Amino acid sequence: MQFVATEHQHRRFNPLNGQWVLVCPHRTQRPWSGQQEKPQKNEVPEFDPSNPLCPGVTRPNGIETPAYESTYVFDNDFPALVEAVPIPPNGDDPLFQIAPARGNCRVMCFHPKSNLTLPTMSAAEIEVVIDEWIRQFNELSATYAWVQIFENKGASMGCSNPHPHCQIWSCSFLPTEPQLKQERLRAYYTTNERPLLADYVERELQRQERIVIENPDWLVVVPFWATWPFETMLISRNNNKRINDLTLEQRQNLARTIKELTTKYDNLFQCSFPYSMGWHGAPTGPEHAHASSAHWTLHAVYYPPLLRSATVRKFMVGFELLAMAQRDLTPEQAAQRLREVDGTRHYLEK
């Protein structure tokens, strides 16, 4: 019997974290009688007087959100990380290690209208979002080792407010996922004298198997080692190390790329497609200010949970939690579906 990737189970290696992913494409044929999500439609009013992220509405802490007309950033009213916190005592037992954690958490509204999302905003409006990301990054990266810009879209990804927004958490330490990438990327660069993701972009361009969007500045692929069904990675093709390295033209092209990708997502199952996404680049802050970042390549990752339809999602439970990550359809199959779906016209447009 000859191996066929779309039919036979196999494992794939993720060089960014050193872990393997189990691919079981034959499982897509099994019937589904489990939990089904409520389809996430764009059924949100333009303005909701009870939504604290809307302009002019008073938040639970008594502060009134100003009548903003573009983006709006404020310190999270219920932050996970704060700056003024006591330092824990040093422990002498290796089984009970503890370390300090300081930081800052901010909320950033993309737009004053609650009924918009990135795919239904214009490219020009998304560019304004990118510019604000960079302003926030410039400020926070001067102090903190890691600035995590991320968006949770949709209730199924834990988003508690439908208003278009993201969060920016800044840490005095390097979190687990960036730390793994830092180590893996540095080791690859030491051996090959080339950034891992720069080589990966070249390989993907040669193979043309997993590309979703391609332009001079950005490449969107379903990674060879993707875990989530329609996971994508948006990678800089210009050797950028951090988001504040981007030129005006690269930011404009990024806005168009984000709009196209998120439109494809929404059009795939004709719903407001949920995901968690975030940016990864070279570490920052005084500790990393003078360290080499040659091994890094700026990229964003999108982790969407939907698997078969707007109502059937992938659950990371059981074997995935206790043994290893597992996916059903292959990354190549997912890329083909995303590549073929329209990214220029949103399904809600008349």
Which residue numbers are catalytic?
A: 165
Could you tell me which of 212, 205, 222 has the C-alpha nearest to residue 302?
A: 222
DSSP 263: H
**Both tokens of residue 238?**
């210009």
In whole angstroms, give the CA distance from residue 71 to residue 267. 26
User: Helices (DSSP H) in the chain: which residue ranges?
Assistant: 123-140, 176-192, 196-207, 248-269, 285-288, 319-322, 331-340
Task: Judge contact between 258 and 278, C-beta under 8 A.
Answer: no
Q: Which burial class, exposed, middle or buried, applies to 298 when counting CB atoms under 10 A from its CB (0-12, 13-18, 19+)? A: buried
In whole angstroms, give the CA distance from residue 251 to residue 133. 11
Q: Are strands 218-221 and 232-236 parallel, antiparallel or unpaired?
A: antiparallel
Q: Find residue 152's DSSP bridge partners.
A: 276
In whole angstroms, give the CA distance from residue 145 to residue 175. 9
Task: Judge contact between 293 and 241, C-beta under 8 A.
Answer: yes
> At 164, which amino acid appears?
P
Q: Which residue bears the tokens 């990229």? A: 299
Task: Judge contact between 109 and 53, C-beta under 8 A.
Answer: yes
CA atoms within 13 A on the CB side of 191: 8
In whole angstroms, give the CA distance from residue 80 to residue 348. 36
